Structure 1
Amino acid sequence: MVSAAQQQLHAFDDGQALANALSSSIADALRAAIDTRGEALIAVSGGSTPKRLFEALSHELLDWSRVTVTLVDERWVPDSDERSNARMVEALLLQHQAADAEFVPLYVETATPEAGIGEVRARVNALKQPFDVVVLGMGPDGHTASFFPGGDRLGEALDVSNTAQVLPMRAPGAGEPRITFTLRELLQAQTLYLHIQGDDKRVVLDQAEQPGSELPIASVLRAARPLNIYWCP
């Protein structure tokens, strides 16, 4: 289990209060990166949970022209598809103050992630890593990023000795094929957040914190590095 010193749980009454607080913390981390090295790199997650966060973050005052945004993972669909994570980022985050940010999507126009992996890796290699900020989510099955239970490349993705930055992923619960950053890449972030909502997610989180848990999120919780958990019912 990860010690309390490495996990910080920030609990809020509702999703808007959580989004506002998390947005403010992320903006501070991005400003610090810009002050330190002249630019900032952030990877965000998709799904329904971060919608309020993206809207709040889009209004934060900082030099967004020095910020590059990418995704933790992506469904292998174009941004014309309503299930595209890129589509949501473009609609909700890359607006207002954040309209000046550079966005690097993970999807390319090939039939499968395996066919497009070379181009995706070229894009990823051009990013000035490590990430300054990574915002993870978590599904009711304990997945984070595209680390799904039963994933065909789950072992590779969670192996911190694996030097691959991104991998394709297919799993029964994933719907479409996916592309995902590996755990090793995500854990190198300067600031790592886990953003979850709902009592059911808190139960899953508690299960993942138990010794021997095989839930994918447990691999993040067991990593020897600080994790900022933002949660509301």
Structure 2
Amino acid sequence: MYQINEFNEKAALDNALADKVAALLSQAIETKGKASLAVSGGSTPKGFFKALSQKTLPWKKVTITLADERWVNIDDDASNTKLVHEHLLQNNASEAKFFHLKQGEALTDETLTDLNLAAKSSLLPLDVLILGMGEDGHTASLFPCSDEIQTGLAQDNPNALLKVQPKTAPHQRISFTFSSLIKSEAIFLHIAGAGKKTVLNKALGKQDILEMPIRAFLQHPQINTQVFWAE
């Protein structure tokens, strides 16, 4: 299930989404004393990151992580970790904790096992999840072209994280699995531009989740994915 929220300007979307996420994080902190937020990379969320970073929250009680990460050095321009540190972990949000998905030089089975244990014990289930969407309908690093896509989308997958090697995009990835992401208290899809609206409409038109993994979130009967889109 989904609900589409449309905005004429990207700045209006950024501010509205920041207000919504800040309220949800505050509510989680009031309820259980802490909150968790997973965000996505790319250029689209930069304005949202800036707006959210300026919100007045008990940020020391918030843990931020990524829905997925490229296995590159954190000073690489392709690093989502770098993006988050430069645009979100600023201003008031500089006090938030950050859960690193990229740890160590190689994404070994041992590293993946350790990260799975750490995510399950200290982070999951997420309070707020912000997804992005690629032109091919991938979200997080659940790529339709990858050999790992069936495992990544399996609802009974016991693992929180998996490694992914896309065939149509560079870099090995680490990504949260669909089975772990759907347990999030609140799920948002943040997209912008006419091209992404076309992709969204295509995703809503059919049901094959292996063809367009974002459909798994948009068309699941027990998930309410809030779509935030601006021109």
Which bracket does the TM-score occupy, shorter chain normalised? Answer: over 0.9
| Equivalent position amino acid for 1:132 in 2 | D
The answer to whether the Cα contact below 8 Å between 1:108 and 1:119 also exists between their aligned partners in 2 is no
| Superposed displacement of residue 226, structure 1 | 0.9
* Offset from partner CA, 1:182-211 (integer Å, 9 cap, x none): 001111111100000011111111111123
Q: Tell me the residue number matched to 2:213.
A: 216
User: How far apart, in 2, do the equivalents of 1:9 and 1:65 lie?
Assistant: 32
Q: Please, which of 94, 97, 100 is the counterpart of residue 99 of structure 1?
A: 94
Structure 1 stretches of 4+ with a deviation exceeding 6 A read none
Matched, 1:169 2:164: yes
What are the equivalent positions in structure 2 for 1:12-161 lying under 5 Å apart?
Answer: 12-112=7-107, 114=109, 116-161=111-156
Q: Judge conservation of contact 1:113–1:177 (CA < 8 Å) in 2.
A: no
**Residues 1:113 and 1:21: Cα distance change in structure 2 (over 3 Å):** farther
Return the TM-score normalized by structure 1. 0.94
Identity of aligned residues (%): 39
C-alpha spacing 1:82/1:219, structure 2 compared with 1 (3 Å): same
User: Is 1:104–1:123's contact at 8 Å kept on the other side of the alignment?
Assistant: no
What do you get for the CA RMSD once the two structures are aligned? 1.3
- The secondary structure found in structure 2 opposite 1:176 is coil
From 172, 184, 190, the counterpart of 1:195: 190
Which residue pairs with 2:226 in the alignment?
A: 228
Paired residue type of 1:21: A
1:93-142 residue CA offsets vs partner (Å, 9 max, x unmatched): 11111011000110011223546312322331332421100000001111
Unpaired runs of at least 5, structure 1: none
Q: How much does 1:220 deviate? A: 1.1
TM-score scaled to structure 2, two decimals?
Answer: 0.95
Question: Structure 2: where are the runs of 5+ without partners?
Answer: none
Equivalent position of 1:182 in the other structure: 177
Instruction: Give, in angstroms, the shift of residue 83 of structure 1.
Output: 0.8
SS in 2 for 1:145: coil
Per-residue deviation, residues 3-42 of structure 1 (Å, max 9, x unmatched): xxxx221111121111111011000000000011111011
C-alpha separation in 1, matches of 2:16 and 2:99: 25
Alignment deviations for residues 156-207 of structure 1 (CA, whole Å, 9 cap, x no partner): 0000111111000011223100000000111111110000001111111111
Aligned partner letter, 1:88: L
What is the distance in 2 between the residues matched to 1:114 and 1:199?
40
